[in-house]
Structure 1
Amino acid sequence: MTRPPGPSVRTRLALSYALFLMLAGALLLAVVWVFLLRYVPDSAITTRGGFVPNRSDLVRAFAPAAAAAMVFLLVFGLVGGWFLAGRMLVPLERIGEAARAAADGSLSHRVRMPGWQDEFREVADTFDVMLERLEDHVAQQRRFAANASHELRTPLATSQTLLEVARSDPNGTDRELVERLHAVNARAIAVTEALLLLSRADARSFDPETVDLSLLAEEAAEQLLEMAERRGITLEVTGVPAEVHGSPALLSRLVENLIQNAIVHNSGDGGWVVVRLSSGPRGSTLEVENTGEVISPALVRTLAEPFRRGTDRLREHRGDHVGAGLGLAIVRSIVAAHDGTLDLRPRTAGGLIATVRLPRTG
């Protein structure tokens, strides 16, 4: 519903200043009447020294001056209030300009309020932080949309190419074509399911329940044990029960993604993966450590971005694992949806340590 336009804040402040001055003037006049004029007799006063004004004489002489003073206070209050209000509202005008620029799509504009650290400066700094986070979020979503479009388009284009080659080559083997199409479609399905899960985590569309991370870790380790054994990797789960409040499906996918990522991006035969769980008064911690190639700290900071695949960002599937490049991105979104933190640290000898801290209650 559209509201009718009203007086500006500057006008209302100026009127408030003027009314305050007039009220103060009226209070002074009342003080003069109560403590001075009312004690002067209204009858004629005769003295040997000459004429002495009575109450009526004083009122007739004082009333015009008092009225003039009240008019002066009104004008002075309006003019001075208008000027002071304008000076005081300059910070709000700067914040309004930044808000209008952001509404027009310019998220790079900042208030950068100068001066002392006061209430306006605090609001401006908070607004700048909000714009910075919003700009980063929009940029991240744009990169994600571009990468997702590319990732979903590539399998379809590959399938189309394979079909065209098969149609033009009568001597091609159907078995080879089926295997290649199966791998391409499996990758497309993995990307689509990962994108749907990522969207669900970002939207926080789940009903929280009490979940034990240790049980989820044991179930994920049991499911992935065969994959680890085929690669010659030792998988171990240690720790105590770690209860948190969240979505069982999302948390199960979080644990599974971390362990699967640790198995796939490992050193191969002789490598190991250790899953540790701990619990405290404020929440629970899940730590997944694995051997592997040496990773630079700069690269570690980008591993949780969508469509990153380990140290070499491999595009193909690794044996029995079809990578979508969204494993750690999904983990980060699930952790954020549960108000937790994700910490990725490279091991000096090679490999990665992924630490997830989740609060006991959401």
Structure 2
Amino acid sequence: MTNRPFDVDTIRRDFPSLDQHIHSKPLVYLDSAATSQKPRAVIESISQYYSGANANVHRGSHSLTASATNRFEAARQTVADFLNAPVEGIVWTRGATEALNLIAQTYARQKLQPGDEIIVTEMEHHANIVPWQIVAEQTGANVVKWPINPQTCQLELAELDNLLTSRTRMLCIAHISNVTGTRNPVEAVIEKAHMAGAIVVVDGAQAVVHENVDVTSMNADFYVFSGHKLFAPAGIGVLYGRPSLLKTMPPWHGGGKMVEKVSFSGTQYAESPAKFEAGTPNVAGAIALGEAIHWLANIDHKGAEAHIAALQNQLLEGIQNIEDLRIVGLQHGASIVAFIIDGVHHSDIATLLDQQGIAVRSGHHCAHPLMDALSINGCVRISIALYNTEGDISRCVAAIQKACDLL
């Protein structure tokens, strides 16, 4: 970890993508909850791999493949250290979505019986809802909704005591909401679920970039995240699984690497995590994710989060008097501000902001059940990252006001 104080100007110089114009306006990128921009070190790690180290891993005996394998597995160790997890619990996936589907189709499909229950919170991304609906249809299990409090956009822990039953087998929860930035008390949830005999799946896609995640102290069963929200490229993700659970799970995809011996009389599978990594993996993506974690380790984490919180406060102060603007599920100190403007469609606001060079997200944010709970059909979401500046926020506030004046 670094002892250097956080400096946003230094940070921004690491991100070449921020130095561009959209509609002849300097880009203000405020959509990092969808995907983060990438630092130069990550971009260069991809280029370096393909220009001078391209080879398949765990195959062959030549020097390039040995080097690629070493770097690929070193990246796995980097992720394990990042999560304070045993390295044998780290499985490479294409992203959080694939990781959740892997759990559903390996662990859940073999364990669930008719009448079993899967608790899923109302604030989940579709990636942490639909796989459980699919496996429920396949097994006869039931998906049980854990409602939010629509006034606070938070879960009521007391309600969980009523939902946990002798039939509860799994509980699926976001560490941090991708719509409101709500930070769920996953530690307490895991403890309650374990007391009821259930295992917990945590979607950490929004959390790993904002806090130090320790899956060991959290006592997590499964924890997933995507690289592209953590300054790494798209197409790489991580499934952490408790090794004792991974050992009992059948493979999902079949092919090379995930086997010890194949014959027409039967196949012997490799031990996990290799058992879940059939075929040629995203070697460059894994190396780049490791590089992103190393890059992040050199950032003053507390300083970065204080900077983000200060920018959120600046944004809230700037928009508080805009007529008919309503904030959705405000969470102070978060990186997200979601809002609607009465009588104006959210996509119209986002389009007008884009014309002024401001990149934000509008829509349902892959969270239809949360939109239904809040009685809205969508919203505008501003998501702040460590590379944003006070100037970015000032321009965003002015752009929102201008959009409202036009509409």
TM-score (norm: length of structure 2): 0.21
Structure showing greater relative contact order (alpha-carbon pairs closer than 8 Å, 6 or more residues apart): 2
- Which of 1 and 2 has greater Rg? 1
Q: Comparing both structures, which one devotes a greater share of its residues to strand?
A: 2
Q: Comparing both structures, which one devotes a greater share of its residues to helix?
A: 1
